[in-house]
Amino acid sequence: MCELLCANFNKKVNLKLHLDAFKYRAADNPHGFGLAWFEDETAQIIKSPENAVESRLYDNMVKNDFVSAQILMAHVRYSSVGASTLKNCHPFSRELNGRNFIFMHNGTIDSYKKFNLNQFYPIGETDSEHIFCHI
């Protein structure tokens, strides 16, 4: 099952230590990773369908101190709904009323298709993004 890391600090900090340690959660969750952090009111999202443990993208971001923020969300994926593709990697983002919202989820929602969609629609195939669009 997926693993999540969320952190909220009282000031902007370098997230290298947190991200370096979190990467190893991908050993049991090899179907992708995603990172989100906020630069002012805008979320920056980097994600990939590759295993974070083996990812040069993940390593380069951490080694080069690329991520420095007050708020961090990280996700390593074990796919239960939807293929191991970029569009199914978490976190997901939508804009509403000029604000950027980020969502990631751990678990499976079996009857997710019964939740109606009317303003937002998933790009990928996951139950998580469907529920996010419903909310």
Query: Where would I find the H helices in 23-102?
Result: 56-63
Radius of gyration of the chain (CA): 15
Tell me the pairing of strands 99-103 and 42-48.
unpaired
**Is there a catalytic annotation at residue 133?**
no
Q: Which of 2, 6, 89, 133 is catalytic?
A: 2
**Strand ranges, E, within the chain:** 3-14, 33-39, 42-48, 68-76, 92-96, 99-103
Q: Which residues does the annotation mark as catalytic?
A: 2
